[in-house]
Structure 1
Amino acid sequence: MMGLEGIKVVELTSYVAAPACPRILGEMGAEIIKIEPFTGDEQRTQGPGFGMKRNDIEDPAFDMSSMNKNWISVNLKNPAGLEFVYKMIADADILITSFRDKALIKLGLDYDTISAKFPHIVYGHMRGYGERGPEKDSKGYDATAYSARGGILMSFPQKGESPVNVPAAFGDWNAAVALTAGVLAALVRKLKTGRGDKVVVNLYHCAVWAMQIAMVSRQSGAEYPRSRKEVPCPFNNCYKSKDDIWFLICNGNYNKYFEEMMTAFGLGYLVGNKDYDTLEVINEYNRNGYVVKLLEEAFAKKTFAEWEVIFREHEIPYQKCFTVDDVLADEEAYANDILRPLHYNDFGDRVIPTSPIRLKSVGDPELRKSRPIGYDTRKYMLKYGYSEEDVNRLEAEGAVKCFKGEI
């Protein structure tokens, strides 16, 4: 047995946050059955909005959330189509959806209906907002529910600047990990008791969870957005070297490491100076900005390469502030299978991030690119007892869609 081999997941989702959860489960070895409308998951249309090309066979933008899946296309409003879906759910362990409550109830795919029919099922629901409150029925996207409402856009920029331009789906990927953790916990319960559970994750909650330090420290007076020239801890901040390379040092225990850090940075004359050697004092008397200024001046005297030697010698946690291009060229990312090379016939050689969870029984997971709408419909209908005549008839009646092209 390898990882989640033998675990079956039915997916009724769109866009990124919810589909990325089954992608992770698929990389762990689960069988993923993705059910799409005849027009396909709307994420199939999004590539050009990210500056990426696509065609009917290859779609690098869609692959990000939808690798390692089997592709079924069903008209959920057709009774025969819904019956086929119910057959797959009956045989599954997990159902993942991102549909809103009204649509789920209308289709007969809401939790109450599904759990009554299939009490064993683990039901994972990705939402924009919570199940309660004024936004419970609103559409929720990464950009709105996570980045905008979650405080990301207004907290990340330097104080006085405009909101940041967050990469698309930034919160979706993080929310997908949360949903994955939840459904795996529910799966353990299901395997022990035979009964499923409902797992709910919403984008807004995930953003606030990630913003905990800001949320809690703000109540003590911390500013968000803030200026890097006035951070409470000067040893946890970004600076620029003589050769204009931005880097970050991260040593939050300012008091403990003050003597060693200041000596390493050529500011040893401050050692023993009670006006500057504790966070309590520099923040109470607003001297933190002056310490940042002294560090800026010190770091501007050496190149980044020279500082790297000093940082390593003193075991000071640091890192160059990477651009996306830096990450794409980073040996560390390839050595640890964080970035995986992929080849596209029409788009050439690319790389894609793998999911961040590793099981020893699986190792570096297989990655299978997405397929066209309905690519596996016929195969799965035959697997679930339909005849070739049944498939042809139900397709003619508009219950299902089967891919007929070549790859």
Structure 2
Amino acid sequence: MKGLEGIKVIELTSYVAGPACPRIIGEMGAEIIKIEPFTGDEQRTQGPGFGMKRNDLEDPAFDMSSMNKNWISVNLKNPEGLAFIYKMIESADIVVTSFRDKALLKLGLDYETISAKFPHIVYGHMRGYGERGPEKDSKGFDATAYSARGGLITSFPQKGESPVNVVVAFGDFNAAIALTAGVLAALVNKQRTGKGDKVVVNLYHTAVWGMQLAMVSRQVGAEYPRSRKEVPCPTNNCYKSKDDIWFLICNGNYNKYFDIMFTAFGLGHLVGNKEYDTLEVIGEHKRTGEVIKMLDEAFAAKTFDEWEVIFKQNEIPYQKCHTVDDVLADEEAYANDILRPLHYKEFGKRMIPTSPIRIKSIGDPELRTSKPIGYHTREYLLKYGYSEADVVRLEAAGAVKCFHGEL
């Protein structure tokens, strides 16, 4: 068996952060059973807000968080619908949800209820905020709980500029990786002991985790937002070449590599100058801005292509500041299956990122696009012992919804 083949996940989520975790687990080979209301996951409506087209059969925007799944539509408020969910959970390994506590309690899908009925279940819960504190019952989205409250939108811009527009769902996809790690750790323990566990990740916490250098350094005076002309390490900064290309050099060990770097940058006359060759001295005497100005002038004297040769010859870590268009055209992204072309009947070819985790036994994972609401409902009812007559009766009673169209 490869990867997580044989592992079954019941997904009770909406939008992006919660669904993206099972998508990753699905790419690892697990069977993902996505439970939707009759109206579908609300993320199905979001494509036009990103400037993306969709129809009832194909939805590239939805696929980003919801590929590699089986699609079941159930009325969770209907006793027979809930009984079907419980039957599936009984034979599952993992439940992943992003519903808020009050809804879970009302539906009988909260951790306490599920763990009492099914002690073997690993229960993963994606939240906007933590389980304690004043926001524990609040709606939490990527833009609010992660980017705004986590400090990203005010720390990323240059000093004096307005807050930035962080890419939508940036925090969702990062938080999904954290929940995946926690769920799989609990799964390992469950397989050793037979006992399930609860794993909780929230968007706010994930943002603060990623911002920890800012959180800790701010306490000793570091500024956020800050200006690139005032950063404490001039060789960990962005600069512009003669042909107006922005690039970043990343060499935080300024002191160790000063002679090599400044000789390569055409500033060899500074080698041996004790007023500039350590971060401690330029920081204490407030000369970082002066050094950055000298580097600005030096880098403006050559094209990026010329600098690229110099950086490589001297093993100076660097990278051009790519636009999204640059990434979409980047050979590196396709050679490593970072971006995967998918073909849609209605929309043509679209490039979509794969999850960043690779397992040797699986290799580059299969990607299966999302399906219409209720596409697999009938199939799973029959798989779990219901008859064809039961399927008809349950649908007529409003307990489940089946897809009756054609792809």
TM-score (norm 1): 1.00
* Partner Cα separation in structure 1 for residue 112 and residue 297 of structure 2: 63
How far 1:285 sits from its partner (Å)?
A: 1.2
Aligned residue number for residue 284 of structure 1: 284
Mapped to 2, the partners of 1:369 and 1:251 lie a distance apart of: 41
Partner of 1:267: 267
Matched, 1:30 2:30: yes
How many percent identity over aligned positions?
84
SS for the counterpart of 2:229 is helix
* One-letter amino acid matched to 1:69: K
Report the CA distance between 1:100 and its aligned residue.
Answer: 0.2
Match of residue 107 from structure 1: 107
Q: CA deviation at 1:283?
A: 0.8
C-alpha displacement of 1:281: 0.8
In 2, the alpha carbon distance for the partners of 1:184 and 1:368 equals: 22
Determine the C-alpha separation between the residues in 1 that align with 2:136 and 2:26. Answer: 29
Tell me the CA shift for residue 316 of structure 1. Answer: 0.2
Deviations 1:62-117 (A, max 9, x none): 00000000000000000000000000000100000000000000000000000000
Equivalents in 2 of 1:286, 1:406: separation in Å?
A: 69
Matches within 5 A, 1:314-353: 314-353=314-353
Q: 1:33 and 1:295 mapped to 2: Cα distance?
A: 55
Which residues of 2 match residues 293-372 of structure 1 at below 5 A? Answer: 293-372=293-372
Aligned twin of 1:133? 133
Instruction: Give the match for residue 395 of structure 2.
Output: 395
Q: Residue 301 of structure 1: CA displacement? A: 0.2
Report the AA paired with residue 358 of structure 2. R
Whether 1:240 and 2:265 are equivalent positions in the alignment is no
1:164 is matched with: 164
Find the counterpart in structure 2 of residue 86 from structure 1.
86
User: Residues 352-378 of structure 1: CA distance to partner in whole angstroms, max 9, x if unpaired?
Assistant: 000000000100000000000000000
Task: Tell me the CA shift for residue 8 of structure 1.
Answer: 0.1
> Distance between the aligned counterparts of 1:70 and 1:296, measured in 2?
54
Q: Which runs of 4+ in 1 moved over 6 A?
A: none
Match of 1:33, SS?
strand
Q: Which amino acid aligns with 1:400?
A: V
The answer to whether structure 1 residue 173 and structure 2 residue 180 are counterparts is: no
Q: Distance in 2 between matches of 1:229 and 1:173?
A: 32
Root-mean-square deviation (CA, aligned residues, Å) is: 0.3
Residue 258 of structure 1 corresponds to: 258
User: Secondary structure of the equivalent of 1:286?
Assistant: coil
Aligned-partner Cα distance in 2 for 1:136–1:297: 51
Gapped regions of structure 1 (runs ≥ 5): none
Give distance in 2, aligned partners of 1:300 and 1:161. Answer: 24
CA distance in 1, matches of 2:23, 2:374: 18
Whole-Å separation in 2 of the counterparts to 1:140 and 1:91: 31
Paired AA for residue 73 in structure 2: S
Q: Which amino acid aligns with 1:378?
A: R
Partner of 1:12: 12
For residues 189 and 49 of structure 1, the distance between their equivalents in structure 2, rounded to whole angstroms, comes to: 41
Following TM superposition, by how much is the alpha carbon of 1:232 offset from its aligned partner in structure 2, in angstroms?
A: 0.3
**2:215 is matched with which residue?**
215
1:60 correspondence with 2:60: yes
Give the letter aligned to residue 338 of structure 2. I
Separation in 2, partners of 1:284, 1:217: 16
- Cα deviation for residue 202 of structure 1 reads 0.1
- Counterpart code for 2:377: T
Distance in 2 (CA, whole Å) between partners of 1:285 and 1:134 is 44
The Cα shift of 1:218 comes to: 0.3
Q: Which runs of 5+ in 2 are unaligned?
A: none
Secondary structure, counterpart of 1:126 in structure 2: strand
Matched residue of 2:3: which SS?
A: coil
TM-score, scaled relative to structure 2 = 1.00
SS in 2 for 1:88: helix
Q: Aligned partners of 1:264 and 1:360: how far apart in 2?
A: 40
> Which whole-Å CA distance do the structure 2 matches of 1:38 and 1:137 have between them?
25
Instruction: Provide Cα deviations, 1:148-172, integer angstroms capped at 9, x if missing partner.
Output: 0000000000000000011100000
CA distance in 1, matches of 2:275, 2:196: 60
Distance 2:105 2:346 in 1: 41
Give the equivalent residue in structure 2 for 1:116. Answer: 116
Aligned equivalents of 1:116 and 1:40: distance in 2? Answer: 29
- 1:284 is displaced (CA, Å) by 1.1
One-letter amino acid of the counterpart of residue 28, structure 2: M
